[in-house]
Amino acid sequence: MKFFIDTADVAEIRDLAATGLVDGVTTNPSLVAKTGRDFFEVLREICDVVPGPVSAEVAATDFDTMLAEGQALAKLAANIVIKVPLTPDGLKACKALTDSGTKVNVTLCFSAAQAILAAKAGATYISPFVGRLDDIGSDGMELIADIVEIYQSYPHFTTEVLVASVRNVNHVIESAKMGADVATIPPGVLRAMYKHPLTDKGLDAFLADWAKTGQSILNQ
């Protein structure tokens, strides 16, 4: 499973990318707005830090403007992926951009039916929002299972399942068990994946035992 980081905070991206665990980045207008910085400057900087796919979302809702914005964003860097909403015009833009060789992430997916349409439109990634479904009492992970099952039934579908709106470590684990291709993870959730109380307890015991020896690995 590939890990994308869901943030536009360049400092966070640099820190996590240094671990070697980051395969890409997803952004959206809300995340970029939180930085208070220039939209294009932020995207260029992220693309320099992370060689993998970096999703940049269009702001328009009509086909012609979405296409024009997508084409403009695609010029920023070779690893830019254009993010479009799962609407009739968004899927039309997806098809046009895909046909021209641009990778597209179709976002705001909340049903298996929508995911089928995105795959038929040639989307590189489909982004089902599991956390937002959980918020309204639906089972977000059930949607992931449905999409993975459908896509696996049709080998000519090349769209990757990119699990979005991830709220906790369990979302990542369940997505991996279901065979999702990518999870885009907030920095805090990725850091939480390191943690287990028995790891901390074991490390404390090892360090205490080592201290008793009075030795140093470096002073040999």
Note whether 93 and 58 are within 8 A (CB). yes
Catalytic pick from 2, 83, 103, 195? 83
Distance CA 72, CA 159 (A): 23
SS3 assignment for 20-71: CCCCEEECCHHHHHHHCCCHHHHHHHHHHHCCCCEEEECCCCCHHHHHHHHH
Q: Specify whether 95 is catalytic.
A: no
Q: What type of residue sits at position 146?
A: D
Residues identified as active-site: 83
